[in-house]
Protein backbone atom coordinates (compact mmCIF):
# COMPACT_ATOMS: atom_id res chain seq x y z
CA UNK A 1 0.00 0.00 0.00
CA UNK A 2 1.28 3.45 -0.88
CA UNK A 3 2.09 5.35 2.32
CA UNK A 4 3.13 8.66 0.75
CA UNK A 5 1.56 12.08 0.87
CA UNK A 6 -0.06 12.92 -2.47
CA UNK A 7 0.74 16.00 -4.57
CA UNK A 8 -1.61 17.86 -6.91
CA UNK A 9 -0.17 20.26 -9.49
CA UNK A 10 -2.64 22.98 -10.54
CA UNK A 11 -1.66 25.03 -13.58
CA UNK A 12 -3.25 27.13 -16.29
CA UNK A 13 -1.48 24.89 -18.81
CA UNK A 14 -1.99 21.14 -19.17
CA UNK A 15 1.49 20.89 -20.70
CA UNK A 16 3.08 22.73 -17.79
CA UNK A 17 1.40 20.54 -15.17
CA UNK A 18 2.11 17.27 -16.98
CA UNK A 19 5.70 18.30 -17.70
CA UNK A 20 6.33 19.05 -14.04
CA UNK A 21 4.77 15.73 -13.08
CA UNK A 22 7.18 14.02 -15.48
CA UNK A 23 10.09 15.87 -13.87
CA UNK A 24 9.02 14.77 -10.40
CA UNK A 25 8.82 11.17 -11.58
CA UNK A 26 12.48 11.37 -12.63
CA UNK A 27 13.81 12.78 -9.35
CA UNK A 28 11.26 11.49 -6.88
CA UNK A 29 9.91 8.03 -6.26
CA UNK A 30 7.12 5.75 -7.41
CA UNK A 31 5.90 5.98 -3.82
CA UNK A 32 4.75 9.58 -4.37
CA UNK A 33 1.40 9.90 -6.18
CA UNK A 34 1.41 13.08 -8.28
CA UNK A 35 -1.70 14.23 -10.16
CA UNK A 36 -1.83 17.05 -12.70
CA UNK A 37 -4.80 19.41 -13.01
CA UNK A 38 -3.74 21.64 -15.86
CA UNK A 39 -5.84 23.73 -18.19
CA UNK A 40 -9.57 23.57 -18.78
CA UNK A 41 -11.67 20.50 -19.49
CA UNK A 42 -11.69 21.30 -23.21
CA UNK A 43 -7.90 21.60 -23.36
CA UNK A 44 -7.68 25.39 -23.21
CA UNK A 45 -5.62 27.68 -21.03
CA UNK A 46 -7.21 28.19 -17.62
CA UNK A 47 -8.18 26.17 -14.58
CA UNK A 48 -10.94 23.67 -13.94
CA UNK A 49 -12.82 23.00 -10.70
CA UNK A 50 -13.68 19.47 -11.86
CA UNK A 51 -10.09 18.63 -12.87
CA UNK A 52 -8.75 19.79 -9.50
CA UNK A 53 -11.36 17.77 -7.60
CA UNK A 54 -10.53 14.67 -9.66
CA UNK A 55 -6.78 15.19 -9.18
CA UNK A 56 -7.19 15.32 -5.39
CA UNK A 57 -8.98 11.96 -5.52
CA UNK A 58 -6.27 10.55 -7.80
CA UNK A 59 -3.39 11.63 -5.55
CA UNK A 60 -5.07 10.68 -2.26
CA UNK A 61 -3.73 7.51 -0.64
CA UNK A 62 -5.25 8.21 2.75
CA UNK A 63 -2.32 10.14 4.24
CA UNK A 64 -3.00 13.66 2.99
CA UNK A 65 -2.60 15.74 -0.14
CA UNK A 66 -0.62 18.90 -0.88
CA UNK A 67 -1.97 21.16 -3.64
CA UNK A 68 0.51 23.41 -5.43
CA UNK A 69 -1.00 26.10 -7.72
CA UNK A 70 0.95 28.13 -10.27
CA UNK A 71 -0.72 31.59 -10.15
CA UNK A 72 -3.88 33.69 -10.31
CA UNK A 73 -7.07 31.78 -10.91
CA UNK A 74 -5.44 28.44 -10.10
CA UNK A 75 -5.37 29.59 -6.47
CA UNK A 76 -8.96 30.84 -6.57
CA UNK A 77 -10.29 27.68 -8.21
CA UNK A 78 -8.43 25.44 -5.76
CA UNK A 79 -9.80 27.47 -2.85
CA UNK A 80 -13.33 27.06 -4.24
CA UNK A 81 -12.85 23.27 -4.37
CA UNK A 82 -11.61 23.17 -0.78
CA UNK A 83 -14.44 25.40 0.41
CA UNK A 84 -16.99 23.02 -1.08
CA UNK A 85 -15.09 19.89 0.00
CA UNK A 86 -13.28 20.82 3.23
CA UNK A 87 -10.70 18.35 4.51
CA UNK A 88 -8.06 18.85 7.19
CA UNK A 89 -5.68 16.54 5.34
CA UNK A 90 -5.73 18.47 2.05
CA UNK A 91 -3.57 21.60 2.10
CA UNK A 92 -3.24 24.38 -0.47
CA UNK A 93 0.39 25.51 -0.17
CA UNK A 94 1.84 28.88 -1.19
CA UNK A 95 5.17 27.93 -2.76
CA UNK A 96 7.13 28.34 -6.01
CA UNK A 97 5.46 25.99 -8.48
CA UNK A 98 8.50 24.08 -9.75
CA UNK A 99 10.88 24.38 -6.79
CA UNK A 100 8.09 23.79 -4.27
CA UNK A 101 6.93 20.69 -6.13
CA UNK A 102 10.46 19.27 -6.21
CA UNK A 103 10.95 19.89 -2.49
CA UNK A 104 7.55 18.39 -1.67
CA UNK A 105 8.10 15.28 -3.80
CA UNK A 106 11.57 14.55 -2.43
CA UNK A 107 10.38 15.07 1.15
CA UNK A 108 7.31 12.90 0.61
CA UNK A 109 9.48 10.17 -0.91
CA UNK A 110 11.51 10.15 2.31
CA UNK A 111 8.34 9.24 4.24
CA UNK A 112 7.56 12.64 5.78
CA UNK A 113 4.11 13.54 7.07
CA UNK A 114 1.73 16.12 5.59
CA UNK A 115 3.00 19.06 7.65
CA UNK A 116 6.64 18.34 6.77
CA UNK A 117 5.90 18.00 3.05
CA UNK A 118 3.97 21.27 3.03
CA UNK A 119 6.72 23.03 4.97
CA UNK A 120 9.40 21.75 2.59
CA UNK A 121 7.47 23.26 -0.32
CA UNK A 122 7.15 26.61 1.47
CA UNK A 123 10.86 26.70 2.31
CA UNK A 124 11.66 26.58 -1.40
CA UNK A 125 10.66 30.25 -1.60
CA UNK A 126 13.78 31.31 0.30
CA UNK A 127 16.39 29.21 -1.51
CA UNK A 128 18.51 31.04 -4.10
CA UNK A 129 19.23 29.13 -7.31
CA UNK A 130 22.79 30.48 -7.39
CA UNK A 131 24.90 33.26 -5.89
CA UNK A 132 24.86 36.18 -8.35
CA UNK A 133 26.40 38.65 -5.89
CA UNK A 134 23.43 41.00 -6.08
CA UNK A 135 21.76 40.56 -2.73
CA UNK A 136 22.36 40.22 0.98
CA UNK A 137 22.05 36.46 0.65
CA UNK A 138 25.40 36.42 -1.15
CA UNK A 139 27.30 37.71 1.88
CA UNK A 140 29.21 35.10 3.88
CA UNK A 141 27.17 33.78 6.76
CA UNK A 142 28.55 34.43 10.24
CA UNK A 143 30.79 31.71 11.53
CA UNK A 144 28.89 29.33 13.75
CA UNK A 145 30.76 27.91 16.75
CA UNK A 146 30.54 24.12 16.58
CA UNK A 147 30.66 21.36 19.08
CA UNK A 148 31.31 18.60 16.61
CA UNK A 149 32.18 18.35 12.94
CA UNK A 150 33.11 15.80 10.32
CA UNK A 151 34.18 15.74 6.67
CA UNK A 152 32.82 13.32 4.09
CA UNK A 153 34.03 12.60 0.57
CA UNK A 154 30.91 12.01 -1.49
CA UNK A 155 30.63 8.67 -3.33
CA UNK A 156 27.99 10.20 -5.64
CA UNK A 157 26.48 13.55 -6.57
CA UNK A 158 24.35 15.10 -3.82
CA UNK A 159 21.16 14.91 -5.90
CA UNK A 160 17.51 14.87 -4.89
CA UNK A 161 17.22 11.51 -3.15
CA UNK A 162 20.19 11.73 -0.76
CA UNK A 163 19.41 15.43 -0.23
CA UNK A 164 15.85 14.56 0.76
CA UNK A 165 16.99 11.85 3.16
CA UNK A 166 19.59 14.17 4.68
CA UNK A 167 17.04 16.97 5.17
CA UNK A 168 14.52 14.60 6.72
CA UNK A 169 17.04 13.26 9.24
CA UNK A 170 18.61 16.65 10.02
CA UNK A 171 15.19 18.00 11.04
CA UNK A 172 14.96 15.37 13.80
CA UNK A 173 17.80 16.87 15.84
CA UNK A 174 17.65 19.77 18.27
CA UNK A 175 21.23 20.86 17.57
CA UNK A 176 22.09 23.69 15.22
CA UNK A 177 23.43 21.96 12.11
CA UNK A 178 25.28 23.42 9.12
CA UNK A 179 26.48 21.81 5.92
CA UNK A 180 29.52 23.36 4.22
CA UNK A 181 30.73 23.00 0.66
CA UNK A 182 32.44 25.29 -1.83
CA UNK A 183 32.64 28.22 0.58
CA UNK A 184 28.93 28.07 1.38
CA UNK A 185 27.20 27.08 4.62
CA UNK A 186 23.54 26.05 4.64
CA UNK A 187 20.89 24.64 6.97
CA UNK A 188 20.49 21.02 5.78
CA UNK A 189 16.89 20.73 6.99
CA UNK A 190 15.78 22.25 3.67
CA UNK A 191 16.06 19.82 0.76
CA UNK A 192 16.45 22.53 -1.88
CA UNK A 193 19.15 24.23 0.18
CA UNK A 194 21.09 20.94 0.22
CA UNK A 195 20.62 20.46 -3.52
CA UNK A 196 21.66 24.07 -4.21
CA UNK A 197 25.17 23.33 -2.91
CA UNK A 198 25.86 21.42 -6.11
CA UNK A 199 28.20 18.98 -4.32
CA UNK A 200 29.42 16.33 -6.73
CA UNK A 201 31.06 12.91 -6.75
CA UNK A 202 34.46 13.01 -5.03
CA UNK A 203 33.97 16.41 -3.41
CA UNK A 204 34.37 16.96 0.33
CA UNK A 205 31.43 18.14 2.41
CA UNK A 206 31.73 19.21 6.04
CA UNK A 207 28.97 18.76 8.61
CA UNK A 208 28.95 20.94 11.74
CA UNK A 209 26.63 20.58 14.73
CA UNK A 210 26.24 22.38 18.04
CA UNK A 211 23.90 21.19 20.76
CA UNK A 212 23.07 18.34 23.10
CA UNK A 213 22.65 15.76 20.33
CA UNK A 214 25.44 17.13 18.11
CA UNK A 215 27.55 13.97 18.17
CA UNK A 216 24.60 11.77 17.19
CA UNK A 217 23.60 14.24 14.47
CA UNK A 218 27.10 14.21 13.03
CA UNK A 219 27.26 10.41 12.97
CA UNK A 220 23.82 10.10 11.36
CA UNK A 221 24.30 12.75 8.68
CA UNK A 222 27.83 11.74 7.74
CA UNK A 223 26.61 8.16 7.30
CA UNK A 224 23.87 9.34 4.93
CA UNK A 225 26.38 11.36 2.92
CA UNK A 226 28.88 8.49 2.84
CA UNK A 227 26.19 6.11 1.53
CA UNK A 228 24.82 8.45 -1.16
CA UNK A 229 24.25 6.74 -4.48
Query: CA–CA separation, 88 vs 76, rounded Å?
Result: 18
In 3D space, the residue among 123, 143, 139 whose CA is nearest the CA of residue 131 turns out to be: 139
Q: Is the dihedral of CA 195, 222, 172, 109 positive or negative?
A: positive
In 3D space, the residue among 46, 56, 55, 58 whose CA is nearest the CA of residue 16 turns out to be: 46
Query: CA–CA separation, 57 vs 52, rounded Å?
Result: 9
Query: CA–CA separation, 185 vs 139, rounded Å?
Result: 11
Query: CA–CA separation, 153 vs 6, rounded Å?
Result: 34
Query: CA–CA separation, 23 vs 162, rounded Å?
Result: 17
Active site residue 12: yes
User: Looking at the annotation, which residues are catalytic?
Assistant: 12
Amino acid sequence: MNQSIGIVLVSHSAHLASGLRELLAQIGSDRVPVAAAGGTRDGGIGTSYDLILAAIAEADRGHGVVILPDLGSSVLTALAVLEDHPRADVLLVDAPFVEGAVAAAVTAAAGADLAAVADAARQARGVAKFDDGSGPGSAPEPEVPVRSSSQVTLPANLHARPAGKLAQEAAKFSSDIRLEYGGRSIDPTGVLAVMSLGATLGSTVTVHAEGQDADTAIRTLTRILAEAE
